[in-house]
């Protein structure tokens, strides 16, 4: 059995209260006692039981993070930011890989609730009523990342998706492109789907350029869907000279489609992505894309979680276009 506070108290001949004070850096003992206790702790290899501590202090120093997909590069980068900041503050993080599954998400919420985490970060998904209610019921700080909700006004950190897409499209237009396609997410997705499509459309419309629905093909943000969507797009609108993809992974799909169909990028087809994931700079050619400060968003989310009175705080992070080699000036 692991030694307890009682063991070190006995060993030293003091009370457990005194040991507790010493461990926790409170005062109320002389140096003499402190030394003896510390020695005993060392000798017995005593480590305080965080579970017992948690029970009395009702604080576990643990937070939960819900991600739709742990292997996604956006999610992992975000996680890195969250974990870094959490660790600095002495918190551990439990990961929850929801796979965007409703039931699974609810289960995680239950577990997190039972395990009495001190806070929770919910990412990249639409807040359904079932989630919102559960989240409210937990009675702990909640921070949203890459999502927000009018019905459940939790603090959030995100990027302005519509605006980012708008800027990406304007960038393409300024490079001289006139027929611009989009490889989009699901238009029913109010988070990363429709806003980006709207931004694309608005940029085009404002400049009197065509923004027909035949110029957008829908994917699921992942690579394979990017390939397929591009094929569809180029078949329906062969005059497209540039494509805006709603994620870097899909943009890589565009590149892949182009490679296999002997369409040169950027000389015959320009491509701009979204995220600035690690893969963007590793792409061939290196991918021009919309940079989201993902790591910083993770840091910020943790900050909001740990800061007092964060209710209602909203944090919209800046984006920027990172110019690499996939967009040609016409």
Which parts of 215-234 interact with a second copy (CB under 8 A)?
223
Task: Decide: is 154 part of the binding site for a second copy (CB under 8 A).
Answer: no
Task: Decide: is 136 part of the binding site for a second copy (CB under 8 A).
Answer: no
How many residues touch DNA under the rule CB under 7 A: the total is 31
Task: Decide: is 48 part of the binding site for a second copy (CB under 8 A).
Answer: yes
Q: Which stretch binds DNA (CB under 7 A): 45-53, 214-222, 233-241, 250-258?
A: 45-53
Alpha-carbon gap, residue 18 to 39, rounded angstroms: 14
Task: Decide: is 90 part of the binding site for DNA (CB under 7 A).
Answer: no
46 binds, among a second copy, DNA, none (CB under 5 to 8 A by kind): DNA
Contacts 24+ apart (CB under 8 A), 126-131: 126/189, 126/190, 126/191, 127/151, 127/152, 127/154, 128/102, 130/102, 130/106, 131/105, 131/106
Hey, is 192 helix, strand or coil?
A: coil
139 binds, among DNA, a second copy, none (CB under 5 to 8 A by kind): a second copy
Task: Decide: is 2 part of the binding site for a second copy (CB under 8 A).
Answer: yes
Alpha-carbon gap, residue 190 to 182, rounded angstroms: 17
- Confirm if 247 and 223 have CB atoms less than 8 A apart: no
Q: Which stretch binds a second copy (CB under 8 A): 3-11, 90-98, 145-153, 175-183?
A: 90-98
Task: Decide: is 320 part of the binding site for DNA (CB under 7 A).
Answer: no
Task: Decide: is 52 part of the binding site for DNA (CB under 7 A).
Answer: yes
Task: Decide: is 13 part of the binding site for DNA (CB under 7 A).
Answer: yes
Alpha helices, DSSP H, located in 13-153: 16-23, 31-44, 50-57, 73-88, 102-114, 129-138
DSSP assignment of 202-251 = HHHHHTT----GGGEEE--SSHHHHHHHHHHHHHH-TT--EEEESSHHHH
Nearest partner of 232 among 265, 211, 257, judged by Cα: 257
CA Rg value for the chain: 26
Report, in Å, the least distance between residue 126 CB and a second copy: 22
Report, in Å, the least distance between residue 27 CB and DNA: 6
When the beta carbons of 51 and 309 are compared against a second copy, the nearer one is 51
Q: Which stretch binds DNA (CB under 7 A): 30-38, 119-127, 175-183, 195-203?
A: 30-38
Please give the backbone phi and psi of residue 291, each rounded to the nearest 5 degrees, phi first. Answer: -85, 120
Nearest partner of 181 among 218, 208, 207, judged by Cα: 218
Nearby residues of 172 by Cβ (< 8 Å), 6 or more positions away: 180, 242, 244, 270, 272, 327
- Confirm if 233 and 243 have CB atoms less than 8 A apart: yes
Options 284, 311, 316, 330; binder of a second copy; rule CB under 8 A: 284
Half-sphere exposure of residue 311: CA atoms within 13 angstroms, side-chain side: 6
Options 186, 256, 315, 317; binder of a second copy; rule CB under 8 A: 256
Options 28, 90, 238, 312; binder of DNA; rule CB under 7 A: 28
Site for DNA, rule CB under 7 A: 1-2, 4-6, 13-18, 20-21, 23-24, 26-30, 32-33, 46, 48-49, 52-53, 55-58
Question: Under the rule (CB under 8 A), what is the footprint of a second copy?
Answer: 2, 45, 47-52, 54-55, 60, 62, 70-71, 73, 76-77, 79-80, 83-84, 87, 92-97, 110-111, 113-116, 137, 139, 223, 249, 252-253, 255-256, 259, 278-279, 281-286
């Amino acid at each position: 059995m692991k030694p307890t506070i009682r063991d070190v108290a006995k060993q030293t001949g003091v009370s457990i209260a005194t040991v507790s004070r010493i461990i926790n850096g409170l005062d109320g003992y002389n140096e003499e006692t402190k030394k003896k206790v510390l020695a005993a702790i060392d000798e017995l290899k005593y480590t305080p039981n965080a579970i017992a501590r948690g029970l009395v202090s009702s604080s576990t120093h643990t937070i939960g993070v819900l991600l739709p997909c742990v292997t996604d590069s956006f999610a992992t980068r975000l996680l890195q930011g969250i974990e870094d900041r959490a660790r600095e503050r002495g918190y551990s993080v439990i990961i929850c890989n929801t796979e965007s599954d409703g039931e699974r998400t609810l289960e995680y919420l239950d577990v997190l609730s039972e395990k009495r985490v001190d806070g929770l970060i919910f990412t990249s998904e639409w807040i359904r009523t079932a989630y919102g209610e559960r989240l409210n019921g937990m009675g702990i700080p909640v921070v949203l990342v890459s999502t927000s909700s009018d019905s459940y006004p939790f603090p959030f950190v995100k990027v302005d998706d519509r605006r980012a897409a708008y800027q990406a499209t304007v960038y393409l237009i300024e490079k001289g492109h006139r027929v611009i396609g989009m490889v989009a997410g699901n238009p029913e997705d109010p988070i990363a789907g429709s806003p980006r499509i709207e931004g694309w459309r608005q940029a085009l419309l404002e400049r009197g350029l065509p923004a027909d629905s035949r110029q957008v093909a829908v994917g699921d943000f992942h690579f394979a869907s990017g390939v397929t969507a591009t094929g569809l797009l180029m078949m329906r609108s062969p005059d497209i000279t540039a494509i805006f993809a709603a994620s870097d992974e899909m943009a890589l799909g565009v590149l892949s489609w182009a490679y296999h169909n002997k369409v040169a990028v950027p000389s015959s087809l320009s491509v701009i992505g979204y995220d600035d994931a690690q893969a963007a700079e590793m792409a061939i050619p290196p991918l021009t894309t919309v940079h989201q400060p993902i790591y910083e968003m993770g840091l910020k989310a943790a900050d909001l979680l740990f800061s007092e009175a964060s209710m209602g705080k909203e944090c919209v992070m800046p984006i920027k276009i990172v110019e690499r080699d996939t967009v040609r000036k016409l």
